[in-house]
Amino acid sequence: MRIVPFPAGPGADPDERWLAELEAALSGEAEGPTADGWRELRADVRAMAPAMDPAFHERLREELERRVVRPAWLRSRTALISGGLATALAVVVAVVLVTTPSRPGQSAQRGPAAARSTPASGRGAVESATSAPRAPFAAVGGEEGSPRAAAGTVSAAPGRVQQLAASITLSTTASGVQDAADGVARLAAADEGFVESSHVQIQQQGPSEAMLMLRVPSARLGAVLASIGRLAQVRAESQSLQDITDAYSAARQRLSDAEAERQALLRALAAATSEGQIASLRERLLQSRGTIAQAQSALHSISQRASTSEVEVSVLGDAPVRSEGLTLDRGLHDAGRVLVVAATVLLIAAAALAPLALVLLALAGLARAWRRRRREHALDAA
């Protein structure tokens, strides 16, 4: 008889010693009547179970084989779920990227084309008033030697007195706002204009911007706008035109009438003989002088409106640092942006899903414990 030592030491727990003896007997390592008894008991218990029906065995084998040979991508639910989640994440990132303003310069480049507004140039007024007398102070379009803006400049009608105005919005970096504002003022002065008012706001944290109101000779409006447009990206540009020929003619007529009245009064004064007539005419001459002064002032004001144009310049410091073309810097910037967006999406998703996952985890644990308890109860009741 072969002597098989106890796997557990002599100081081991009785249960452990017994268990080691049982395992040794069932595995065939131990010999002797006790071990044979255990093996016999196992054989008897196993023999009590009816054998599996061969037909069922074959049927089950075929069924399992059929399931096992399914395509791998169908068999792996984990792969399917992972693929679905990855696709959903990619779609979310793509949507975020598409709906978020992207590289610097793109929006600015779109600006001019999208926001340029040019008036109808008063052509209707030209057609209806081509025979009007030429205004002495009119700063009208079509003048020889008048410079034109690169694009979108108002084309004034000859023979008409017109008031021009323009506004232009520039986009530059926050640090470039001051330089752009200085450049605008410099250009206005170079074109015989001036800055009526200005407001420049530079902030370390927050938006930086500048607002300038220029007054430039109407004849130089196009050139001024073109020069300003070269200082930075043009976000928006608009021009307006108002025909003031009627107002100018009326003011001029009032001045002519007042001057004619004064001439008549002077002639009447020269012919007056009585003291009463002379005093009365002098009084009326005094009033006529005031009327003439008022008419001259009104005419001058209207002439000023025609000869100079108001230009409103806005400089926004909202453009990121620009880069041109496909460069490594831009590529790194875009890659970093994609990573930041992806990380943000993941963070938001995690923040939203974490509490839900905890609750689900707790519920799953409870359900598992409850299922185990019911199973044990079913066993006890059996």
- Nearest CB to other proteins, comparing residues 37 and 133: 37
> Do residues 178 and 200 make contact, with C-beta atoms less than 8 angstroms apart?
yes
Q: State the nearest-atom distance from the C-beta of 53 to other proteins, in Å.
A: 7
Q: Which of 63, 143, 192, 257 touches other proteins by CB under 8 A?
A: 63
- Would you count residue 73 as binding other proteins (CB under 8 A)? no
Q: State the nearest-atom distance from the C-beta of 42 to other proteins, in Å.
A: 5
Query: What b/e string do you get for 54-73 counting C-beta neighbours within 10 Å, with b at 16 or more?
Result: eeeeeeeeeeeeeeeeeeee
Q: State the nearest-atom distance from the C-beta of 362 to other proteins, in Å.
A: 19
Cα 308 off chain centre by: 37
- Nearest CB to other proteins, comparing residues 68 and 271: 68
Binding string, 12-31, against other proteins, x = CB under 8 A? ---xx-xx--xx--x-----
- Would you count residue 78 as binding other proteins (CB under 8 A)? yes
Q: State the nearest-atom distance from the C-beta of 41 to other proteins, in Å.
A: 6
Checking DSSP bridges between strand 116-117 and strand 233-243, what pairing results, if any? parallel
Which helix (H) or strand (E) element contains residue 308? strand 308-316
**DSSP-assigned beta bridge partners for residue 308:** 217
Q: State the nearest-atom distance from the C-beta of 61 to other proteins, in Å.
A: 7
Within 10 A of 366 (CB to CB), how many other CB atoms are there? 10
- Would you count residue 45 as binding other proteins (CB under 8 A)? yes
> Do residues 281 and 263 make contact, with C-beta atoms less than 8 angstroms apart?
no
> Do residues 157 and 140 make contact, with C-beta atoms less than 8 angstroms apart?
yes
Of 213, 163, 145, nearest in space to 185 by CA: 213
Q: Which of 5, 61, 74, 192 touches other proteins by CB under 8 A?
A: 61
Of 217, 250, 230, 253, nearest in space to 141 by CA: 217
- Would you count residue 103 as binding other proteins (CB under 8 A)? no
Q: Which of 47, 98, 270, 351 touches other proteins by CB under 8 A?
A: 47
Q: State the nearest-atom distance from the C-beta of 25 to other proteins, in Å.
A: 11
Q: State the nearest-atom distance from the C-beta of 326 to other proteins, in Å.
A: 44
Q: Which of 2, 46, 325, 328 touches other proteins by CB under 8 A?
A: 46
Count of residues binding other proteins (CB under 8 A)? 44
- Nearest CB to other proteins, comparing residues 3 and 381: 381
Q: Which of 98, 270, 356, 381 touches other proteins by CB under 8 A?
A: 381
Q: Which of 60, 266, 340, 360 touches other proteins by CB under 8 A?
A: 60
Find all residues with CB under 8 Å of 293, minimum gap 6, and list them: none
> Do residues 173 and 104 make contact, with C-beta atoms less than 8 angstroms apart?
no
At 52, the amino acid letter reads M
Binding string, 339-378, against other proteins, x = CB under 8 A? ---------------------------------x-xxxxx
By CB atoms closer than 10 A (0-12, 13-18, 19+), residue 220 is: buried
Where do we find the tokens 């204009």?
Answer: 193
> Do residues 313 and 211 make contact, with C-beta atoms less than 8 angstroms apart?
yes
CA distance 311 to 166: 5
The single-letter DSSP state of residue 202 is -
Cα 49 off chain centre by: 75
Q: State the nearest-atom distance from the C-beta of 64 to other proteins, in Å.
A: 6
Binding string, 206-245, against other proteins, x = CB under 8 A? ----------------------------------------
Q: State the nearest-atom distance from the C-beta of 379 to other proteins, in Å.
A: 5
Q: Which of 64, 80, 348, 350 touches other proteins by CB under 8 A?
A: 64
Q: Which two tokens stand for residue 301?
A: 């004001």
- Would you count residue 11 as binding other proteins (CB under 8 A)? no
- Would you count residue 37 as binding other proteins (CB under 8 A)? yes
Sign of torsion over alpha carbons 91, 93, 98, 103: negative
Give contact residues for other proteins (rule: CB under 8 A): 15-16, 18-19, 22-23, 26, 37, 40-42, 44-53, 56-57, 60-61, 63-65, 67-69, 76-78, 372, 374-382
